Amino acid sequence: MNHPARHLACAAAALALLLPAADLSAAEFRLGSQIAMSGALARVGMATNEGVNVAVEMFNRVHQGRHTASLITVDDESNPAKAVAAIEQMAPQVQAFSGGYGSNIIGPASETAERAGKVYMTSGGVASELVKRGLTNFFRINNGEGYSRALVGMLNDLDIKSVAILHSTKDATQEVAHQVEEGLVANGTKVSFHAFDPAISDFKPILHKVKVLDKPDAIVMVGYENDYVGILRAARVMQPGIKLIAGVWSLATGKMANDFPELMQNVVGTSTLPYPVAFTDPEAQEFAKVYRDLYKKSPDYLGVFGYVQTRLLLDAMLRAEEAGALDQPGAVAAELRKSLNDTLIGPVRFDETGDNPEFTHRMGQHQGKQVVLVWPEKAATGPVKFPATPWTTPRVASE
């Protein structure tokens, strides 16, 4: 055999030996995602779903040629019954679930996943009932306490003496509102309470009561984007003599800064990221790059949550696979509970209930066309403007 032929034969033999080995170590990680892509929760569901997709894409880029992650997404139409049907439909085909939005939807969906013996990971439900059910396969990276702790911490630091809380009657918002109330009352703050139906469109009668009867130092909103816009509009008309308006999720975001620049001035809300987003560590920068590649826009906080939950899940599945236990019952759940993870939303550690006791949010304030992180001090990117409301400063929309 001449030299080239001998080399070719050796290469072929080596390849023949290597190929089966490569096949043996390759694994496919099959994820299911039941999430609201239409219906009342479509906005939040779609944004979270983008983060889930980015995590899968990043996993495939990192493990290219070895492992692959695949994702099946089913739209639950913001409907609990359809969410259960989606989980039942996907369960035979996938190894775990990442998704869900809304505590009332996540509840039955995760119970269905539990019956199928599959891990259900989410960031879309903060009602405490979710972690009190004794499910072994349910995990979430955020919780209501993390939101209320941040809100109460900032209001107490600003020495606010009285607060009117306006909250939606949905499960999670109601619960967070009561947690905020407890935190404030414990510090001696006077609190008045106003529940509102999610279908309400005119908040002026409530704001009128706040202005005439409560006369608080600050208004706290616990709701969703459409509620915030309605409350802030009513507040601009009624102009109650307050020092600050603050709220929770979906408020201190780049989207609200862009869409409602006049309404949002000086408003404070829980905020994962400043806006414009400034990522510093390599993982975050890579996340932002892939996000922009896929969606041609900057990531928002829901995308970050979707990414983090899916990343943690895929990492745990990878460790379970390396231990040869991926398809064994409880293996992925055990891996998830093993370690403290440093993530884009801060430390994540899962306790026995599947909750993340490490979760604490930051507070951001709309200042001009930016969202500046103002609390806690160690995470702040600028000082808080106080006292300040949307109607006590010049407009910026036409600047």
Partner 1 sequence: MFELVLQSLYAGLLAGGYYALIALGLTLIFGTMKVINLAHGEMVLLAAYIAYTAESVYGMNPVIAIPFAVLVVVLTSVAVYGLVSRIRQDRELNSLILTFGIGIVLTNFVLMVWSADIRSTNVPWFNEPVVIAGTLYSTSAQVLFFLSGVALTAALWWWLNRSWYGRSLRAVASNRNAAMLMGVNPRTTEVISFVIAGLLAGIAGIAIYTVTVIHPDLGHHLTIKAFVITVLAGLGSIPGVLLGAMLIGVAEYLTITLASSALQELTGMVLFLLVLFIRPSGLFGSRGRVG
Binding-site ranges for partner 1 (CB under 8 A): 38-40, 42-43, 45-46, 78, 169, 194-197, 199-206, 208-209, 212-213, 225-226, 229-230, 233, 236-239, 255, 259-262, 395, 397
Burial of 215 (0-12, 13-18, 19+ CB in 10 A): middle
Q: Measured in whole angstroms, how far is the alpha carbon of residue 17 from the centre of its chain?
A: 46
Q: How far is the CB of 285 from partner 1 (least distance, A)?
A: 26
Q: How far is the CB of 198 from partner 1 (least distance, A)?
A: 9
Of the pair 40, 85, the CB lying nearest partner 1 is at: 40
Q: How far is the CB of 178 from partner 1 (least distance, A)?
A: 14
Of the pair 39, 376, the CB lying nearest partner 1 is at: 39
What b/e readout covers 10-36, taking b as 16+ CB neighbours within 10 angstroms?
Answer: eeeeeeeeeeeeeeeeebebbbbbbbb
Residues 6+ apart with CB under 8 A from 301: 249, 253, 271, 272, 273
Of the pair 266, 343, the CB lying nearest partner 1 is at: 266
Q: How far is the CB of 306 from partner 1 (least distance, A)?
A: 15
Q: How far is the CB of 326 from partner 1 (least distance, A)?
A: 35
* Radius of gyration of the chain, Cα coordinates, nearest whole angstrom: 24
Q: How far is the CB of 325 from partner 1 (least distance, A)?
A: 39
- Write down the residue that tokens 């209320």 correspond to: 148
Of the pair 104, 169, the CB lying nearest partner 1 is at: 169
- The span from the CA of 65 to the CA of 96, in Å, is 22
3-state secondary structure 214-250: HCCCEEEEECCHHHHHHHHHHHHHHCCCCCEEEECCC
What number of other Cβ atoms are within 10 A of residue 278's Cβ?
11
Cis peptide before 92 (omega within 30 of 0): no
